[in-house]
Amino acid sequence: MVNQTSGVLYGLGVGPGDPELLTLKAVRLLNECAVVAYPAPETGAGLAWEIAKPHLSASPEVLPLRLPISVDPFPAQQAYDDAAESLATRLTSGKSVAVLCEGDPLFYGSFMYLLERLSGKFRIEVVPGVSSPMACAAALGWPLVAHNELLTVLPGPLPEAELESRLQAPGVFVLMKVGRHFTKLRDLLNRCDLADDACYVEHATRPDQRVLPLDEVDPETVPYFSMILARRA
Amino acid sequence: MVNQTSGVLYGLGVGPGDPELLTLKAVRLLNECAVVAYPAPETGAGLAWEIAKPHLSASPEVLPLRLPISVDPFPAQQAYDDAAESLATRLTSGKSVAVLCEGDPLFYGSFMYLLERLSGKFRIEVVPGVSSPMACAAALGWPLVAHNELLTVLPGPLPEAELESRLQAPGVFVLMKVGRHFTKLRDLLNRCDLADDACYVEHATRPDQRVLPLDEVDPETVPYFSMILARRA
């Protein structure tokens, strides 16, 4: 049963990287909540906090959540249990909490692991954010999808056979979470005749944004926040 | 060759409907451009203008573009030629132009038909916006995609056989541009065992937003701006 005297949990999408791509709603709630939480790596602040921080004019409690980055294996349950507990304490005391999320909270975001733990117990609102496929298309100046094209979004860590079968479809492909899977994905796109027009984008909308054809990418340098866009003409 | 003394053409994503989901960047450029253009129906102002208007504090030239709504058949070329010509005149005279786009400019947006006509002649920048699949997931409080799930985006006007073949994939499905295709799509989802957990959303983030299970939707009332989300568990 949802506790109506508790604070509200907000999942705030902060967009792909450029702080100017926050929505007005995210900026307002960032400054209205008593607590601002964000996923943080073992050390340092994390991207979501870096993106949102320039817009913070209030003085909330700032709460880094030490969550495993969402790569294989499946997120460590204990870290999420602890984070949810820590948010629940604040919410129960009547404080509203904003959890900052890179891109959109529900598009491959770690927010959903908090959502599933706190759903039904507290009021929760998700504020959608600008998502990375749209940011990458903007960086390229390409249509992402036009008219009645199909779009298939494929996480890079999927097994090769599964990816290859999906890459036979018509339309547009967004390959997410490229990182250390770059070589596998590039070779697959070559085999599927998709590599020539494919494009690689890293850190879209950030000052260090890079846009490259696949054959100019050094696989050793590919970060987790990178993407490949491809189209079957 | 790009004319450097001309104005800049901006494709501004204004988000799915709630005016508070504009980005800070879209609000800034809306108020910096000498001309603000937007796709408008035969009569009336159009959704993109309605969404952005509350944030306009400057006094630009306001230019409605009478463009065919992007349903079958393929957009009338002449209307886009005329609109591009009308934008080119302003750009050549040194004025920057903001074209307002519902959701994201490059995600099934009509902006790309202007982009292809003006690309290479003028400086063009696309400002990504919050897109409808993310807005619908937020409305439902569902993860759109988690961990290594696949996402397939399918426009409702596609032929039934093509849709049915794509709906065999694992993962999550976003059916766009539902409108008059609702009955076909509902029946397809039933045949593919996807209907029970599917959800229908119209006018996400607008005051008239509606979220319904498929069997409670009256097919006669389904607008163009509606969507079905389904998941193969």
- The percentage of residues in chain B with a pLDDT greater than 90, rounded to a whole number, is 86
Question: Do the beta carbons of residue A26 and residue A40 sit within 8 Å?
Answer: no
Does any CB of chain A come closer than 8 Å to the CB of residue B52?
A: no
Determine the average pLDDT of the residues in A63-76.
70
Yes or no, beta carbons of A150 and B150 under 8 Å apart:
no
Q: In chain B, which residues have their Cβ closer than 8 Å to the Cβ of A178?
A: none
Confidence of residue B71 (pLDDT cuts 50, 70, 90): very low
Yes or no, beta carbons of A25 and B20 under 8 Å apart:
yes
The tens digit of pLDDT for each residue in A120-147 reads: 999 999 999 999 999 999 999 989 999 8
Could you give the angle at the alpha carbon of A96 between the alpha carbons of A94 and A102, nearest 5°? 155
Counting DSSP H helices and E strands in chain A, the numbers are 7, 10
Is residue B22 predicted with pLDDT exceeding 50?
yes
Q: In chain A, which residues have their Cβ closer than 8 Å to the Cβ of B149?
A: 155
B10-36 residues labelled b (16+ CB within 10 A) or e (exposed): bbbbbbbbbbbbbbbbbbebbeebbbb
Closest CA in chain B for residue A106: B143
Question: Do the beta carbons of residue B145 and residue B133 sit within 8 Å?
Answer: no
- Which domains are seen in chain A, by residue range? 8-127 (3.40.1010.10), 132-232 (3.30.950.10)
Which pLDDT does position B72 carry in this prediction? 46
Which pLDDT does position B41 carry in this prediction? 80
Q: Which residue has the higher pLDDT, A72 or B76?
A: B76
Determine the average pLDDT of the residues in B207-214.
96
Q: How far apart are CA B34 and CA B29, in angstroms?
A: 10
Among the partner-chain residues A23, A107, A112, the one whose CB lies closest to the CB of B20 is A23
Question: Do the beta carbons of residue A9 and residue A96 sit within 8 Å?
Answer: yes
Is this model's pTM higher than 0.90 or not? yes
Does any CB of chain B come closer than 8 Å to the CB of residue A146?
A: yes
The tens digit of pLDDT for each residue in A167-225 reads: 999 999 999 999 999 999 999 999 999 999 899 999 999 999 999 999 999 999 999 88
Place of tokens 């032929």: B159
Q: How far apart are CA A50 and CA B50, in angstroms?
A: 32
Q: How far apart are CA B86 and CA A220, in angstroms?
A: 47
Which of A51, A142, A153 to probe the B interface (max B CBs under 10 A)? Answer: A153
Confidence of residue A73 (pLDDT cuts 50, 70, 90): low
Q: How far is B177 from chain A (nearest CA, A)?
A: 9
Is residue B109 predicted with pLDDT exceeding 80?
yes
Which pLDDT does position A197 carry in this prediction? 87
Could you say which residues from 159 to 188 on chain B have a Cβ atom under 8 Å away from some Cβ of chain A? Answer: 166, 169
Q: In chain B, which residues have their Cβ closer than 8 Å to the Cβ of A23?
A: 15, 20-24, 130
Confidence of residue A71 (pLDDT cuts 50, 70, 90): very low
Does any CB of chain A come closer than 8 Å to the CB of residue B110?
A: no
ipTM of the predicted structure? Answer: 0.95
What phi and psi, each to the nearest 5 degrees, are found at residue A227? -155, 150
For residue B12, give the nearest of B193, B27, B2 by alpha carbon. B27
Closest CA in chain B for residue A158: B148
Confidence of residue A77 (pLDDT cuts 50, 70, 90): confident
Q: In chain A, which residues have their Cβ closer than 8 Å to the Cβ of B106?
A: 134, 137-138, 142-145
Confidence of residue B203 (pLDDT cuts 50, 70, 90): very high
Question: Do the beta carbons of residue B158 and residue B185 sit within 8 Å?
Answer: no
Among the partner-chain residues A23, A108, A143, the one whose CB lies closest to the CB of B21 is A23
Which pLDDT does position A75 carry in this prediction? 58
Does any CB of chain A come closer than 8 Å to the CB of residue B42?
A: no
What phi and psi, each to the nearest 5 degrees, are found at residue B65? -105, 120
Q: CB under 8 Å to B218, separation ≥6 — which residues?
A: none
Which pLDDT does position A51 carry in this prediction? 97
Among the partner-chain residues B108, B146, B147, the one whose CB lies closest to the CB of A145 is B108
Yes or no, beta carbons of A141 and B135 under 8 Å apart:
no
Yes or no, beta carbons of A27 and B24 under 8 Å apart:
yes
Does any CB of chain B come closer than 8 Å to the CB of residue A20?
A: yes
- Three-state DSSP state, B107: strand
Q: How far apart are CA B199 and CA B215, in angstroms?
A: 10
Q: CB under 8 Å to B56, separation ≥6 — which residues?
A: B30, B31, B36
